[in-house]
Structure 1
């Protein structure tokens, strides 16, 4: 249980902005999903309300539990995470060319990769906390990388490139907070980015100099449709009816909203279903179309304060383990927000990453609420115990 005196530690501003984001989700979904299911226009609002209310209960339960207790079960959690991801391969249901869900009934199921992010944050935080001060050399980075690589490969196998990239963001963020040598670790990241960019260029390039022609069409561990999604944002008009369609419709939606937007339920791209997945991955486009620049800036402001308060919780954590948990959650949320907004704005690849706390989806919302519960657990106990 939580000591009543510890309640004074709660960051009520963080809680307020969390609730504001959840309320915004219902308002936005009430217009974004109105024409998705004709038989029940309010279906997604009703289900999202259930997910939010149950998620709030979950967040409170997680917050009440002392976050340090999870350290005792670190290897059990890690093993359960791998088993859960493996079960998707053998028992998962396929949809749109991917196997990501496990259904218990015809309509009730979970997406294990969403909860895998929470499990890896909990276990990786303990893994790094035990190596504090010992992340100075290149060889010191090998063990942490292998720790995250195993579940990441299982998610990549589904295939779920978006969540795989979220794991990369969590890994990088937590490594820096854990004290990884910024020059050596940062150099590895830069080298990795250059290598990926070079590999993509060699794969798609057609007019290479003679000394590089041996590498033309370089094979990559990605399906062609994944590669196209990663690169089509550079020139979406090259495939207006295919992979570029999503980006073009999103750009038209956001651009047409101008300053104040077309008005609640007055959009055309979203309401007429020209904009694909406008209640999930492209929900930010609906905000731009119907609420305009003012609406998008307001939503981003809510996210900004939410993240700043979370960082404040990390800075006040009583130990490295708590700080690393919060840094992992902040890295996850930040990456989701930046990539989703960038994706819908046409400046980042389409990776299928939803907008946290806003997009429709039970597994994603529950995972987000668990992570918020973990932040509050650290927040409640940020003062060292007095005996």
Structure 2
């Protein structure tokens, strides 16, 4: 993509503030700190000053701040990485855009499509990049699929299962009913539905969904299944779980010429032949300074520079939020939801957006 972006300072690389120093921030911080040729880590920011200080010391940031407004006003901050609770994504992203800062926001982009659209409008108005952190797109197997999908023929169906196990809430807000509704869908739904959106290259026509809560130590649903119908008589099924041992992360894609199976986003086989194997650098857990975050930040830096990149940009994020909204309506009502105006997005799988 090309963007009319603001010039950075004489450093030649953009200055970054990571806002929110909780559980997901470690991989984002490492991604910035490990690539000084791309950016400089200027500030770690958290309302819990002790967290910000620890992050500053661990990743050699210049400043630790407990005031978001101070970070956005800092002259050396050109872009922000937002690692905040979901309900804060939209207001802080909009505030950052109005301050002229590029934004990489953790998934989900927002709490709903209306907020996501407002974020994109603010970014457009202030001519800054707004990208969504979909780290799983940056594994080699997923990128291979993006680059070679046409070789498999027409896609017929997709089956995606992402099951993990948590013995308790992993963040305080998971226990708050007004914030944790649809918990497993809100947290892992953006991963799997982004993948389905990528491979289907269309928005769904209809969504069926069920979600239930089995555990009382969080306030939202921890088990979900959904079925999505797409143009061309194509369908996708999705299973999400916070109760599954061992962990399962499996994608089965039925194509005209055979079947693609992707295990843990890192190994891809076609008709039983392994085409992409997991690299040794892809074995870290996503909360533990994972390589896919490093690759993701590199693409964000390219987007800031106005160069071709694989970033998930705001338009794709808005489409995903429309689908997530439909999923929430479907499991909340117990009725299928029809999406109006579903339109193809044939560039979604292109190697360079």
Using the size of structure 2 for normalisation, the TM-score is 0.26
Using the size of structure 1 for normalisation, the TM-score is 0.25
Specify which structure has the higher proportion of strand: 2
Specify which structure has the higher proportion of helix: 1
Decide which structure has the larger Cα Rg and report it: 1
